[in-house]
């Protein structure tokens, strides 16, 4: 019960983070990009990712799909780490 409560709280906090990340703190101009730009380095697009920049191709800027992607990927990370943790844990 306690364990499940901890997971539930963690998932709720994660969803809040995704919401804030999508709505308020989505602008990204990292120092690394700025420094690289000053040095004349440019990103080479070898692999854009299946969902580049956490957005669904063709529906860029759509808040609903961005939120859905954020939440679904967070749950996927949880499941993947849980499975890996179970496989690697102390016997």
Partner 1 sequence: MHIPDGFLDLSISTIMFLLVIPFWIFSIKGVRSVLSDKQVPLMATLTAMFFAAQMMNYPIIGGTTAHLLGGPILAITLGPYAGLISMTIILFIQALFFGDGGLITFGANVWNMGVIGVFIPYLVFIIFMKIMRNKKGMLIGAFLGAFLGDVLAAIFAGLELGLSTINFPYNVQIAVMAMGVHHSVIGIGEGIATVMILSILLSKRSDLLQLQKMAPRWLPSIDLRGSK
Exposure on the CB side of residue 88, measured as CA atoms within 13 A? 6
Two structure tokens written together for 78? 């949880």
Distance (Å, whole) CA 53 – CA 17: 16
Tell whether residue 86 is a contact of partner 1 (CB under 8 A): yes
**Among positions 13, 59, 62, 63, the unique one binding partner 1 when judged by CB under 8 A:** 13
**Among positions 1, 48, 58, 61, the unique one binding partner 1 when judged by CB under 8 A:** 48
Tell whether residue 10 is a contact of partner 1 (CB under 8 A): yes
Two structure tokens written together for 7? 């997971």
Distance (Å, whole) CA 51 – CA 66: 10
- Chain residues that interact with partner 1, rule: CB under 8 A: 2-3, 6-7, 10-11, 13-15, 17-18, 20-22, 25-32, 34-36, 38-54, 70, 73-82, 84-86, 88-91
């Amino acid at each position: 019960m306690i364990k499940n409560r901890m997971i539930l709280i963690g998932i709720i906090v994660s969803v809040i983070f995704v919401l804030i990340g999508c709505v308020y703190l989505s602008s990204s101009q990292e120092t690394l990009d700025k420094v690289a730009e000053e040095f004349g380095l440019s990103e080479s697009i070898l692999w854009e990712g299946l969902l580049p920049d956490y957005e669904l191709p063709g529906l860029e800027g759509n808040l609903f799909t961005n939120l859905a992607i954020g939440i679904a990927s967070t749950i996927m990370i949880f499941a993947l780490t849980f499975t890996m943790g179970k496989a690697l844990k102390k016997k």
